[in-house]
């Protein structure tokens, strides 16, 4: 499994998660990777963190950790992980990696890291018109 983050300013870290992730591991990943990514991207105060409603994201301990770290968290619809903008990046990464046909887990990890870094900034910004069309499709059940 991979964990990654991004903003309109660029990609943050991408890491391989080698075991099943639980709430404690999720908080450790955020601490070790999200905050350094925000600093590296020169994110100013006031940025908003978004994740979906996976149980480890909404666990009481995770919410408390985010509150203590003074994160502003975007409230998310309970059954809408498909609307999460990072899903577009995961799709793009999957296509890019498949084109390179990694032969083993080590190559897979290396290719994932390389391709993540190569995703153009234009793919990181959700354009309002595209977002509106997507929301309409979702509402129509497409």
Residue 98 scores a pLDDT above 70: yes
3-state secondary structure of 64: helix
Tokens of 84: 């999460």
Tokens of 2: 């991979």
Tokens of 124: 């990181």
> Across-strand partners of 11?
6
Residue 51 scores a pLDDT above 80: yes
Residue 58 φ then ψ, to 5°: -105, 5
How far, in Å, CA of 121 to CA of 104, rounded? 29
Residue 78 scores a pLDDT above 70: no
CB atoms under 10 Å from CB of 68, counted, come to: 8
Q: Where do the domains of the chain lie, and which CATH numbers do they carry?
A: 2-139 (3.30.420.10)
How far, in Å, CA of 116 to CA of 86, rounded? 12
Residue 136 scores a pLDDT above 80: no
């Amino acid at each position: 499994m991979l964990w990654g983050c991004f903003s309109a300013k660029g990609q943050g870290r991408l890491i391989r998660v080698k075991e099943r992730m639980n709430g404690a591991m999720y908080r450790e990943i955020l601490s070790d990777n999200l905050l350094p990514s925000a600093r590296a991207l020169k994110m100013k105060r006031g940025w908003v963190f978004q994740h979906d409603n996976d149980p480890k994201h909404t666990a009481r301990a995770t919410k408390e950790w985010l509150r203590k770290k003074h994160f502003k968290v975007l409230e998310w619809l309970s059954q809408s992980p498909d609307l999460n903008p990072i899903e577009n990046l995961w799709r793009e990464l999957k296509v890019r990696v498949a084109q390179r046909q990694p032969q083993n887990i080590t190559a897979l990890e290396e290719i994932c890291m390389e391709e993540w870094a190569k995703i153009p900034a234009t793919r990181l910004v959700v354009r309002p018109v595209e977002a509106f069309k997507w929301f309409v499709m979702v509402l129509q059940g497409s």
